[in-house]
Chains A and B, each alone.
Chain A
Amino acid sequence: MFTVDNTLTALKAFASELQEHKAYLSDLDTPIGDGDHGFNMSRGAVALEEALNEENFENVSDIFKTAAKTFMSQIGGASGPLYGTAMLEMAKASQETAEPAPIIEAGLKGIQKRGQAITGDKTMIDVWEPVVEAIQKQEISEALIDEAVQATEPLRAKKGRASYLGDRSVGHIDPGAMSSGYLFKVMLKAGVFDE
């Protein structure tokens, strides 16, 4: 269940994870992208932390809306619109429900619509989709998230800059999948998926 408290805790923790791992995320992006995923996400994370500390939030939707605006206006590249759209759709869905499955599923649909990628293309969707399924079945766990992130390693990229590498994109974890993994782990830790 998303509450104001656990949503704020999770997103603040997401912001610090992104800053802490910015070099690692950029390293993942170097062989298959242009090496800046960590720096871009961390620019958004710094702004997100500031924005979340500034306001007094009365509902979950406003928190996601703030995250959406911050990511869209600070990150750029493909990650800004993709994370921004996900947060925006989650803001809309959380006006109707507090249940995590439909909210995160709305985020997934936003990413799919914006990025035109499908499962197996070696993108963040390869983490979002199994996570949504696991939440629905109440089987979400840290191990499952890790597994989904790792499962992008043997894939051949079909979207984004990594797609130009063809077979040479095999053997690298997708950086967007990794940052998405951080997001779901902090949600898990904050108790979002508890009954």
Chain B
Amino acid sequence: MKKIINTTDQILDQMVDGIALANQEIVERLPETNVIKQKDISQQVALVSGGGSGHEPAHAGFVGDGMLQAAVCGQVFTSPTSDQVYEAIKAVDQGEGVLLIIKNYSGDIMNFEMAMDLAEMDDIQVGKVIVDDDISVEDSEFTQGKRGVAGTILVHKILGAAARSGKTLDELVTLGEQLVQDVKTIGVALSGATVPEVGKPGFVLEEDELEFGVGIHGEAGYRREKMQSSHDIALEMLEKLKQAFDWQAGDQYGILVNGMGATPLMEQYIFYNDVHQKLSEEGLDLAFSKVGNYMTSLDMAGLSLTLIKLNEDYLAYLNEAVDTAAW
């Protein structure tokens, strides 16, 4: 393992300080916690998200006016503890309530829900939206259900803009639940990620292999295959998405191509080009695009493709300007 760190037990603390120092116009570290919060929060429902670290710029990079009011940073690939989430909720509540945006992982759900219980005992109104956009895993009673991955960023953006526009907590929960249905993601990995404390990759792919459907912590995907061209990878992933959305020519969609950490932007744009071409051939109206590293997995090579079925409201919210480090 070769990483630019000091000691493995100080990774989280030092990263959180770095984020706060590098973006001090926008955010600050909530003292004695691993919470990054927006400096000056306007009167609105406050949004709190977070999860394990190692997904930078998610989630702290999306804290700021128009997106999240706080991000809770857990240990690497480990959800934050409930007391940290609770501190974040207390710090950002403006009296209008707090909305938690949670990715569908058992640890995240347990810790965020425990924090919700604690905050409600303080008479803080708290709502939640659980994002489960990863269509590569089955949503069955025999699994934990679909995972929350890169599509979460679009949920942050749309709900963030909606919260800023003055929507109530209940309205945001309703909007969020609908929105989660309209966002779907699928990933592909070319290599595994190395958690610093572990010191070796979570899984190993041979030089000529890739794996479709991996999660953002290197969870196994649905199929391992020989390496293919960007064009063929795009076809496989779009086929899955097409089945999930059942789109018709003329439908309006947005695209998020997200790098997993070790895949250069050059490759992400090549892949975007393939996706855009194919979807244009299908007759879709592609009204929104984003390419880059938004929800990474440490040093994993690979990318994910998120599609969002747009409507006028979503599109307007997506296009609103925000003041964050990473949107």
Nearest chain B residue, comparing its CB with the CB of A32: B220
Nearest chain A residue, comparing its CB with the CB of B114: A81
Cα A24 to Cα B142 in complex, Å, equals 27
From known contacts A34-B202, A34-B217, A39-B197, infer whether A72 and B83 are also in contact, taking CB-CB under 8 Å: yes
Chain B residues with Cβ under 8 A from A82's Cβ?
A: 110
The answer to whether A76 touches B197 (Cβ under 8 A) is: no
B183 sits at the interface (CB 8 A):
no
Nearest CB in chain A: distance from B219 CB, A: 5
The answer to whether B78 touches A76 (Cβ under 8 A) is: yes
CB contacts under 8 Å to A, within B210-269, are 215, 217-220
Chain B residues with Cβ under 8 A from A191's Cβ?
A: none
CB contacts under 8 Å to B, within A125-139, are none
The answer to whether B142 touches A163 (Cβ under 8 A) is: yes
Chain B residues with Cβ under 8 A from A81's Cβ?
A: 82, 107, 110-111, 114
A171 sits at the interface (CB 8 A):
no
Describe B's contact surface by its main secondary structure. loop
Nearest CB in chain A: distance from B197 CB, A: 5
Chain B residues with Cβ under 8 A from A73's Cβ?
A: 81-84
Chain B residues with Cβ under 8 A from A39's Cβ?
A: 75, 197-198
The digit string for A52-80, where 1 denotes a CB below 8 A from any CB of B, is: 00000000000000000000111111111
Nearest chain A residue, comparing its CB with the CB of B74: A76
Cα A36 to Cα B83 in complex, Å, equals 20
B7 sits at the interface (CB 8 A):
no
B10 sits at the interface (CB 8 A):
no
Nearest CB in chain A: distance from B71 CB, A: 15
Cα A68 to Cα B110 in complex, Å, equals 15
Cα A73 to Cα B114 in complex, Å, equals 11
A165 sits at the interface (CB 8 A):
yes
Cα A80 to Cα B84 in complex, Å, equals 13
B277 sits at the interface (CB 8 A):
no
The digit string for A68-102, where 1 denotes a CB below 8 A from any CB of B, is: 00001111111111100000000000000000000
The answer to whether B81 touches A161 (Cβ under 8 A) is: no
The answer to whether B107 touches A78 (Cβ under 8 A) is: yes
The answer to whether A43 touches B75 (Cβ under 8 A) is: yes
B272 sits at the interface (CB 8 A):
no
Cα A74 to Cα B198 in complex, Å, equals 18
Say which residue of A35, A78, A168 sits within 8 Å of B110 (CB atoms): A78
Nearest CB in chain A: distance from B269 CB, A: 30
Nearest CB in chain B: distance from A26 CB, A: 6
Say which residue of B111, B144, B147, B220 sits within 8 Å of A76 (CB atoms): B111
Nearest CB in chain B: distance from A66 CB, A: 14
Say which residue of A30, A75, A79, A161 sits within 8 Å of B144 (CB atoms): A161
The answer to whether A35 touches B114 (Cβ under 8 A) is: no
The answer to whether A158 touches B82 (Cβ under 8 A) is: no
Cα A168 to Cα B143 in complex, Å, equals 13
Say which residue of B111, B142, B147, B195 sits within 8 Å of A36 (CB atoms): B195
Say which residue of A30, A75, A168 sits within 8 Å of B202 (CB atoms): A30
Chain B residues with Cβ under 8 A from A163's Cβ?
A: 142-144
Chain B residues with Cβ under 8 A from A34's Cβ?
A: 77, 195, 202, 217-219
Nearest CB in chain B: distance from A42 CB, A: 9
Nearest chain B residue, comparing its CB with the CB of A23: B198
Say which residue of A36, A72, A115, A165 sits within 8 Å of B82 (CB atoms): A72
Nearest chain B residue, comparing its CB with the CB of A114: B110
Can you list 17 residue pairs at the A/B interface with Cβ under 8 Å?
A: A30-B202, A34-B77, A34-B202, A35-B198, A36-B195, A39-B197, A76-B107, A76-B111, A77-B107, A80-B111, A81-B111, A161-B215, A163-B144, A164-B144, A164-B220, A165-B219, A166-B143
> Nearest 8 pairs between A and B by C-beta?
A81-B110, A78-B107, A77-B107, A163-B143, A77-B78, A34-B217, A76-B78, A78-B106
